[in-house]
Amino acid sequence: MKLSHCPPVAALAAALLVGACSEARNPGAPRPAFLATSPSAVTYSGRATVVQATLLGLQPITLMDAGPLPPEGGADEKSLVDATVPGLLTVAVLHASTVAEGNHSRSEASVARLSLTTGGNTISAGFLMARAGPGAPPGERRPAAARRLRT
């Protein structure tokens, strides 16, 4: 089955990665008044997970988790050639990284090949990547997060 021809399946596969990068944020961005802190109290967060899934009757499955980063910032990176959850999932060339420095955080998770078998159906993808980070500077057009699916 081609991932690009089945939007619900593509959304499920992308959710494995996109949700993994959800903690990246721009600490320098304006905050609501009730959340405002002094300018010297900059804190960071960041995390990237290649696969994070919870299935009925099983312990949560997490593959390649970079982060979470400490409030003072930093960087973390994890890579692995392949991983398997027998009878369910096979992935190759897993990579997760997160960086928090200066005035922003950014995270990225990718997998070169994924094969998920559930309910007698196999879902596969040739390449999945998710990125999360700050939005574009004022006057510049660029997406805050980029997602690509290739089959």
The per-residue pLDDT for range 11-51, each reduced to its tens digit, is: 445 455 444 444 445 555 555 544 555 555 778 889 999 99
Average pLDDT, the chain: 75
Q: What angle do CA 77, 140, 130 make, to 5 degrees?
A: 30
Domain-located, residue 36: no
Question: Which residues touch 74 (CB under 8 Å, ≥6 apart)?
Answer: 44, 99, 100, 101
Q: Is residue 34 part of a domain?
A: no
- Note down the domain range covering 58: 3-29+41-150
Higher pLDDT, 19 or 60: 60
Residue 10 lies in a domain: yes
Closest CA relative to residue 100, chosen from 47, 64, 140, 137? 47
Alpha-carbon distance of 37 to 82, in angstroms, equals 43
User: At residue 141, does pLDDT exceed 90?
Assistant: no
The model's pLDDT over 121-136, given as tens digits with 9 standing for 90+, comes to: 999 999 999 999 886 5
Domains of the chain: total: 1
The pTM of this model reads 0.64
CB atoms within 10 A of CB 110: 20
Answer yes or no: is 35 within a domain.
Answer: no
